[in-house]
Amino acid sequence: MLIATEGVCAYAVQGKRYDAGNKADYVQAIVDFALERDDLRDEILEYLRMTWANA
The reply to whether the predicted model has a pTM over 0.85 is no
- Give me the helix-helix angle, 23-36 and 41-53, nearest 10°: 130
Task: Determine contact, residues 31/40, Cβ cutoff 8 Å.
Answer: no
Give CA torsion, residues 26, 43, 37, 12, to 10 deg.
-30
- What is the number of structural domains in the chain? 1
Report yes or no: 29 and 23 within 8 Å, Cβ to Cβ.
no
Task: Supply the pLDDT for residue 13.
Answer: 85
- Interval 1-55: pLDDT, tens: 777 888 888 889 899 999 999 999 999 999 999 999 999 999 999 999 999 999 8
- pLDDT given for residue 41 in this prediction: 98
Query: What residues make up the domain containing 21?
Result: 2-53
Predicted pLDDT of residue 1 = 72
Residue 50 · residue 42 · CB < 8 Å: no
